Structure 1
């Protein structure tokens, strides 16, 4: 009987040494970022900075004597002067008079004011029309959101 009891105790000790408590299993299988070896290919060690992004540009198509165009120009001036998280200080705004170019006049004669975003490839994307009743803060937020896309 003593032999069977010793064998039972030995099995119990052996089973305990083979199994690890759950908290030890977790800590031995998790790899924390500070425990990983430093790699020369790490993004932090990359000496070349990313290429600079061109400043975003907007184009406003207008014509002289257009009261909607004048109202939007005024609100855009205020929106560009506002600060905050949606600041438009780095954005370049270009005004184009549609009467100076027959193609612009044909395309936008009944749609002005038209606001578009210049894309990196040189093409333009027309932005949704801004209501003349919008405040400068809301115009700023809408333009910032459109430029982030």
Structure 2
């Protein structure tokens, strides 16, 4: 599975969540970080919402057909959540 983190430069909440996701060792997922400032549609959708986390059903989303690709939004974790708490939350979805 792949986790997609919509983020933007200079966002301390985004950076904190990314660091915690990268520290998770007991779950098997690939992390893709998408900079919302690189696409107008992402910017319009998430400019006031980042960080936003999605679960994708495809390992290689770039080669997947768009009709086969399912991205499910995940609940926003608290910025105060520990790595262990984040891992427990994600284990429900992965």
- What TM bracket, shorter-length normalisation? 0.7 to 0.9
- Higher strand fraction (1 or 2): 2
- Higher normalized helix content (fraction of residues): 1
Pick from 30, 38, 52: which aligns with 1:92? 30
TM-score normalised according to structure 2 size? 0.84
Give the structure 2 partner of residue 113 of structure 1: 51
When the two structures are superposed, what TM-score results if normalisation uses the length of structure 1? Answer: 0.54
Q: Does 1:73 align with 2:18?
A: yes
The two structures, once aligned, show a CA RMSD in angstroms of 1.1
Deviations 1:89-124 (A, max 9, x none): x31110100000101110011100000011353121
| Residue-by-residue CA offset, 1:6-45 (whole Å, 9 max, x unaligned) | xxxxxxxxxxxxxxxxxxxxxxxxxxxxxxxxxxxxxxxx
Alignment correspondent of 2:3? 58
Extract unaligned runs of 5+ from structure 2.
Answer: 59-67
Report the structure number with the largest CA radius of gyration. Answer: 1
Count of matched residue pairs = 85
- The runs of at least 4 consecutive aligned structure 1 residues that moved more than 2 Å come to none
Q: Unaligned regions of 5+ residues in structure 1, if any?
A: 1-55
